[in-house]
Structure 1
Amino acid sequence: MLHHRIVVFAAVAEHGSFTKAAMQLEISQPAVTKQVKELEKELEVRLVDRKGQFIALTEAGKLVLAYYHKGVALQQSLELELSDIRQRFSGSLRVGASTTIAQYILPFALAHFYKKHPDVKVKVESGNTQQVQEKLIRGEIDFGIVEGLPNNRNLHYEPIIRDEIAVLVNAEGKYAQLDTLNVDQLKTMPVILREKGSGTLDILEQELEKQLGLRVVDMNIVMQLDSTEAIKTFVKTTDSIGFFSVPSVMMDIKAGSLKILDVEGLDINRMFYVIYPQGPAPHGMAAQLLKYLQYYHQFG
């Protein structure tokens, strides 16, 4: 298993701060500093350059961090394989998933899960966050995976994977010459949004107002559509902007049809949640499928 000092160093590296790393790890800042210094002594290299409250990685630090991520991937892969060996599942699972998750994140994990557990029949029902919650309450699915914010006290929400929402434009349109937008530009540019009840729209409304003081209703909304693919097609063929979960547009960015624009002062990160009725968490083959989802989203 990974050495504790490496884990502490990785937290410092990823947060760029000893203080923030201490908060994440729930230990004191002096303890964090001590662990990093002892790791540097052990490896006989300097890993970080301290700049006030923040740090920058040295070349050695970047190398150690890269190997840390490889070690995490190997450890999680080992745990997944051992779990598969210990347990052979059969039966059926009914999974509800928000549209983005059902289309762009879940299928890859399902394919690998099926190879190991071909006797498990998985049925996936997709919809927006509100629709998935309603299916769960009616008992039509065993658990759900949604992108919306927790809002139903009858359900338990457990964060499972992190996601980022970005602004994208037609890579061949007039906005492609830009790299960064300010709030005034964002307010006036034609924008295509998801429909009411969408988890993406919920988090977008919250974060735009919190980070930029911008209400969605004050934007130049030209259309609201009920699927990511529909919005992608619209943005690719017009001079407009769309807000997308990054996994949903990676192929389009690589193909050169869409381009990400940074927005000054805006950084939208969110969690995807496993949801289930109040009570015991998903177990057995459901828990194993969720492990596949976490692993293959993070490491592919």
Structure 2
Amino acid sequence: MNLHALRLFHVIATSGSVTRAAEILNISQPAITAQIKKFEKELSLPLFRPQGRGIALTDGGEKLASYAKRLFMIEQQMEQFLQEHRNGTAGHIRLSATYLPAHYLIPAWIAKFKQQYEQVEMMIYTTNSHDALHQLLNMEVDLAIYGGLPEKYPDIIQSEELFRDELWFVVAPNHRMANQRVSLPEMMENPFVMREEGSSTRQRLMALCRTHNVHSPKITLQFNGLHETMKAVIAGYGASFVSALVVRDHIERGELCRVYVEGVDMQNIISIFTRKEEPLSAAAANFIQLIRQNRWPKQ
């Protein structure tokens, strides 16, 4: 079927006259009439009949007009759909994040983003840094947000630093080391409550001990979430090594205390990670731009 001719027929049917259709399409009336006659011949179906000084649709024309209306309505919807994807007002974003940004940063970012881009679907996977990187490499997500050491990332991954957060040793207020200054070997004598293996903070703690030639801590209690980890320390068991972003409010409320370890001044670099040489969808690019504009304020 000649879709160009069908479009001419559709405009005539909806506008009610060849003259009006010619004005809408900016085509001469004789040219439209000639193409419609040719179209009727190809279809072996009369589409119009004389009515007074004008024309009217035949029964077959009425039926074809209803199909054409649906067809071009779908075309319009498709064009709108493609335009929304091009400008990022529709689509979907798959995001992997570690517990810190997932609980303390991303909810506020998503709230702002959804206010502007309500039709964009978002899927957030909360995991550890090892699995977040794995998901990004395997194309299971479009981007990842987590902390770690840049030199450990494969060449096909690019990162953009958002901010740096301090890493603190913390204990309950009644702990003998609360607010004290101690050596790293002394700190490692405590039982530790930490996240599971694959957590970037746990990896940083182990690397710290190796660098200073100090035995690794005994991780006697392990959780898959930050909330549970902090609750155990607040309850009075062991120590933990964690981002200041997580515990700052607990310390201000007197639920936790810092332990100042001599010679240890470490930071956690929170970054956005994407795959190099792979264009982001417009929706994902819009989300990253919003994050840049609303990144965590410096402490």
Offset from partner CA, 1:80-111 (integer Å, 9 cap, x none): xxxxxxx6622211111112211112112211
Give the letter for the 1:214 counterpart: V
- Partner-residue secondary structure (3-state), 2:107: helix
1:296 partnered with 2:297: no
- Partner-residue secondary structure (3-state), 2:141: coil
Give the letter for the 2:251 counterpart: I
Partner of 2:207: 206
Q: Is the 8 A contact 2:191 2:238 kept in 1?
A: yes
Partner of 1:109: 109
Distance 2:253 2:265 in 1: 24
Distance 1:186 1:199 in 2: 19
Offset from partner CA, 1:129-171 (integer Å, 9 cap, x none): 1211222233221111122335452641313222221111112
TM-score by length of structure 1 reads 0.62
Cα distance change on mapping 1:172 and 1:94 into 2, 3 Å: same
Q: Is the 8 A contact 2:158 2:276 kept in 1?
A: no
- Partner-residue secondary structure (3-state), 1:298: coil
Partner of 2:23: none
- Partner-residue secondary structure (3-state), 1:231: helix
1:166 partnered with 2:164: no
Choose 266-275 or 220-229, whichever is displaced more.
220-229
Distance 1:282 1:200 in 2: 29
Distance 1:122 1:88 in 2: 13
Cα distance change on mapping 1:292 and 1:203 into 2, 3 Å: farther
Partner of 1:279: 277
Offset from partner CA, 1:13-57 (integer Å, 9 cap, x none): xxxxxxxxxxxxxxxxxxxxxxxxxxxxxxxxxxxxxxxxxxxxx
Give the letter for the 1:115 counterpart: Q
Partner of 1:54: none
Cα distance change on mapping 1:249 and 1:120 into 2, 3 Å: same
Offset from partner CA, 1:184-233 (integer Å, 9 cap, x none): 321212222222111112222223433x33242xx233223222112101
Distance 2:214 2:226 in 1: 23
Question: How do 1:155-234 residues align onto structure 2 when only pairs under 5 Å count?
Answer: 155-161=156-162, 162-176=164-178, 178-210=179-211, 212-216=212-216, 219-234=217-232
Give the letter for the 1:180 counterpart: R
TM-score by length of structure 2 reads 0.63
Specify every segment of 5 or more residues in structure 1 that has no aligned partner in the other structure, as ranges.
Answer: 1-86
Partner of 1:127: 127
Give the letter for the 1:296 counterpart: N
Percent identical among aligned pairs is 21
In the TM superposition, residue 124 of structure 1 has moved relative to its aligned partner by 0.7
Distance 2:158 2:210 in 1: 24
Cα distance change on mapping 1:153 and 1:236 into 2, 3 Å: same
Give the letter for the 2:208 counterpart: E
- Partner-residue secondary structure (3-state), 2:92: strand
Specify every segment of 5 or more residues in structure 2 that has no aligned partner in the other structure, as ranges.
Answer: 1-86
Larger radius of gyration: 2
Q: 1:244 aligns with which of 238, 242, 245?
A: 242
Cα distance change on mapping 1:179 and 1:108 into 2, 3 Å: farther
- Partner-residue secondary structure (3-state), 2:229: helix
In the TM superposition, residue 292 of structure 1 has moved relative to its aligned partner by 3.1
Give the letter for the 2:172 counterpart: N
1:264 partnered with 2:262: yes
Distance 2:156 2:200 in 1: 16
Distance 1:260 1:288 in 2: 38
Distance 1:272 1:241 in 2: 23
Q: Is the 8 A contact 2:93 2:120 kept in 1?
A: yes
In the TM superposition, residue 175 of structure 1 has moved relative to its aligned partner by 3.3
Q: Is the 8 A contact 1:160 1:294 kept in 2?
A: no
Cα distance change on mapping 1:261 and 1:296 into 2, 3 Å: farther
CA RMSD in angstroms, aligned pairs only: 2.4
Give the letter for the 2:180 counterpart: D
Question: How do 1:63-102 residues align onto structure 2 when only pairs under 5 Å count?
Answer: 89-102=89-102
Q: 2:253 aligns with which of 247, 255, 260?
A: 255
